[in-house]
């Protein structure tokens, strides 16, 4: 457990005032992924205020958040729970805690590798990388073939001209931000 | 600083309306029909789009999950490129639109992330972002009064009899203070445009719900449930098809419907504008859909 209260740490790093929460549960009621989550959104905020980092970092919810901002839009106290989830993801990765839904960080990582290398996303490449890393080759094969047939997935990558600028942007992110370890 | 020299409502279109155009990665692959239809209808309506040279990926969901800095710095490069063209930016993708606007706001408001990203991009690119751009979703461009005024004259095939569920999803509406596109809980812009084209829109309950976005790959079960809920809500509302303005919403709704059930076509709003304007190339856009919308349009005599 951190020496500093989790809520104050989160405020310092993200500006989110989680202590303003009075548990009205509007966030959880509107959350599209709450049916699949182990902690409801208001429970995440409550656990932050109770300093229960251990429980939060092991939860599926921080990975399942779809960042749709329904919670933020409806919160009467203007708390953006999706930003809290992002911060908790980074904390879990930095602390070496195994993600409860391991495929999701692999997906983000594969996507960003493509952007860093090429400046744009190359679908066939990053989805291929993701499938190799997660061993999910057979999933969605039929759909993939339909997409290729309709020329919705390009088979060859393209790189932007000043791709070096993108690599520098990533280097800056690694240098001065808490860029999530392993992403 | 729109280079909006002269606005004449003539038989040809809105002369002199020029924008820088940011298609984004999805529109170059899985949503290529959104790109084709956006460019085609803008050309027909006299709105000139100049693609931003050498644009890069906005980072989408992956960037902010990895680093708050990256989610601002990546779109910021595009803003700098567009600003040097001197043209306001048009974006059809809801996620790209969202992140471009977030980056703009962070810099204009001078937040720590915004300041840092702008300083470092100034070093990388030799110039920074001054914050002079307006970033518009393509819907905002089409819904401008001068474009709406053109429609009665330009529409050759009114979409009579087409009952649509207008679906907005998340990132083009929320959070309202960043995107300011429409009412976040009861949006009307797609409905209004569909009606202006002669279609009918239904009242339904899922227009601002989330489709699960990028989880279609890693959590396809979650996306399957969310899209099934949205499609069945549209059906309960009495719609024959869904219309959207986001490549991820369209892809999820179009690809995740069960094969053994009656399937509902999912249009991009720009495709429907194209049909109403009588553009023959619309059939080519529809060939890229998984759920074929052509039978529905032919049945109604619209194609």
Q: Are residues B194 and B243 in the same domain?
A: yes
Residues B295, B159 share a domain: yes
Number of domains in chain B: 2
The encoded tokens of residue B25 equal: 């990665």
Say how far apart CA B46 and CA B111 lie, in whole Å: 38
Per-residue model confidence (pLDDT) at position B261:
84
Cβ-defined contact of B219 to A160 (cutoff 8 Å): no
> Is residue B230 one of the residues assigned to a domain?
yes
- Whether chain B has a CB inside 8 Å of the CB on A104: the answer is yes
> Residues B291, B176: one domain?
yes
Do residues B165 and B33 share a domain?
no
Q: Find, among B179, B187, B85, B174, the residue nearest to B129 by Cα.
A: B85
Residue A121 has pLDDT above 80, yes or no: yes
**HSE-up (13 A, CA, CB side) for residue B300:** 19
> Using CA atoms, how far apart are residues B229 and B234, in angstroms rounded to an integer?
9
Residue B268 forms beta bridges with which residues? B244
Instruction: Please answer yes or no on whether B120 and A169 come within 8 Å at the CB atom.
Output: yes
| B174 in the same domain as B104 | no
Nearest chain B residue to A123 by CA distance is B29
Closest Cα in chain B, distance from residue A150 (Å): 5
Decide which of B138, B169, B200 is a domain's last residue.
B138
Residues 6+ apart with CB under 8 A from B51: B20, B21, B22, B23
Unique residue bearing structure tokens 């391991």: A102
Domain closes at, from B138, B165, B183: B138
Percentage of chain B lying above the pLDDT 70 cut: 95
CA B171 to chain centroid, in Å, comes to: 10
Residues of A in contact with B73 (CB under 8 A): 169, 172-173
Averaged pLDDT of chain B: 93
The residue written with tokens 């090429």 in the block is A118
Chain B neighbors of A180, CB-CB under 8 A: 65-67
Residue ranges of alpha helices (H) inside chain A are 6-14, 26-30, 41-49, 53-57, 61-64, 70-74, 81-94, 103-118, 123-134, 141-149, 163-176
Q: Is residue B7 part of a domain?
A: no
Contacts of B230 in chain A (CB under 8 A): none
CATH number of the domain encompassing residue B243: 3.40.50.11810
Q: How far is CA B127 from CA A119, A133, B99, B151, B251, in A?
A: 19, 39, 20, 40, 37
* CATH code of the domain containing B92: 1.20.1050.140
Question: A80 touching B, CB under 8 A?
Answer: yes
Alpha-carbon gap, residue A84 to A78, rounded angstroms? 12
In a domain, B12, yes or no: no
Q: Which domain holds residue B266?
A: 155-299
Task: Answer yes or no: do B64 and A67 touch at CB < 8 A.
Answer: yes
Question: B160: pLDDT confidence band, cut at 50, 70 and 90?
Answer: very high
Q: Tens of pLDDT along A127-147?
A: 989 999 999 888 888 888 899
pLDDT per residue as tens digits for the range A46-84 = 999 999 999 999 999 999 999 999 999 999 999 999 999
Place of tokens 């009952």: B163
A177–B29 CB contact, under 8 Å: no
Q: Is residue B249, in this structure, part of any structural domain at all?
A: yes
Between residues 13 and 52 of chain A, which touch chain B (CB distance below 8 Å)? 14, 32-33, 35-36
Q: Per DSSP, what are the bridge partners of residue B266?
A: B242
Q: Does B146 reside within a domain?
A: no
pLDDT band at B247 (very low <50, low <70, confident <90, very high): very high
A143-177 pLDDT, tens digit each: 888 998 898 888 888 899 999 999 999 999 988 65
Q: Report whether pLDDT(B150) > 50.
A: yes
Predicted confidence (pLDDT) per residue in B177-205, tens digit: 899 779 999 999 999 999 999 999 999 99
Answer yes or no: is B204 within a domain. Answer: yes
How far does Cα A183 stand from its chain's mean position?
A: 10
Q: Is residue B217 part of a domain?
A: yes
For residue B292, tell me if it sits in a domain: yes
ipTM of the prediction greater than 0.85, yes or no: yes
Q: Is the Cβ pair A111, B62 closer than 8 Å?
A: yes
Section B104-113 average pLDDT:
95
pLDDT in tens, B29-73: 999 999 999 999 999 999 999 999 999 999 999 999 888 899 999
**Contact criterion met (CB < 8 Å) for A154 and B29:** yes
């Amino acid at each position: 457990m951190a020496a500093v209260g989790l809520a104050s740490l989160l405020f310092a790093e993200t500006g989110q005032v989680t202590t303003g929460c009075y548990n009205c549960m509007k966030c959880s009621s509107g959350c599209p992924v709450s049916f699949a989550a182990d902690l409801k959104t208001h429970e995440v905020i409550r656990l932050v205020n109770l300093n229960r980092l251990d429980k939060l970092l092991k939860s599926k919810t921080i990975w399942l958040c779809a960042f749709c901002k329904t919670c933020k839009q409806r919160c009467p106290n203007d708390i953006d729970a999706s930003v809290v989830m992002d911060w908790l993801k980074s904390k879990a990765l930095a602390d070496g805690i195994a993600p409860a839904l391991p495929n999701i960080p692999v997906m983000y990582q594969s996507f960003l590798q493509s952007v860093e290398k090429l400046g744009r996303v190359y679908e066939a490449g990053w989805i291929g990388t993701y499938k190799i890393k997660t061993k999910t080759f057979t999933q969605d094969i039929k759909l993939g073939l339909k997409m290729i047939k309709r020329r919705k997935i390009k088979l060859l990558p393209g790189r932007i001209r000043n791709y070096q600028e993108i690599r520098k942007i990533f280097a800056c992110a690694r240098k001065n931000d808490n860029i999530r370890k392993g992403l | 600083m729109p280079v909006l020299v002269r606005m004449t409502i003539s038989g040809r279109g809105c002369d002199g309306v020029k924008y820088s155009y940011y298609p984004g990665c999805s529109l170059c692959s899985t949503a290529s029909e959104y790109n084709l239809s956006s460019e085609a209808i803008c050309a027909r309506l006299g709105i000139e789009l100049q693609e931003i040279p050498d644009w890069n990926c906005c980072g989408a969901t992956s960037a902010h999950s990895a680093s708050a800095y990256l989610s601002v710095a990546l779109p910021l490069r595009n803003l700098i490129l567009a600003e040097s063209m001197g043209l306001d930016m048009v974006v059809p993708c809801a996620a790209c639109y969202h992140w471009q606007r977030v980056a703009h706001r962070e810099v204009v408001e001078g937040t720590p992330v915004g300041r840092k990203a702008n300083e470092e991009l100034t070093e990388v690119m030799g110039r920074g972002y001054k914050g002079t751009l307006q970033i518009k979703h393509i819907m905002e461009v089409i819904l401008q009064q001068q474009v709406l005024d053109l429609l009665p004259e330009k529409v050759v095939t009114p979409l009579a009899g087409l009952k649509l569920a207008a679906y907005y999803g998340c990132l083009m509406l929320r959070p309202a203070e960043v995107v300011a596109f429409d009412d976040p809980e009861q949006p009307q812009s797609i409905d209004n445009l569909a009606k202006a084209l002669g279609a009918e829109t239904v009242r339904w309950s899922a227009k601002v719900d989330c489709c699960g976005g990028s989880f279609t790959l890693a959590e396809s079960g979650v996306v399957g449930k969310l899209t099934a809920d949205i499609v069945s809500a549209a059906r309960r509302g009495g719609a024959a098809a869904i219309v959207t303005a986001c490549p991820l919403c369209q892809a999820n709704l179009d690809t995740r419907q069960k094969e053994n059930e009656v399937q509902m076509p999912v249009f991009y709003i720009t495709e429907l504008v194209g049909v109403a304007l009588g553009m023959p190339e619309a059939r080519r856009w529809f060939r890229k859909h998984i759920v074929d919308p052509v039978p529905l349009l032919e049945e109604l005599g619209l194609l």
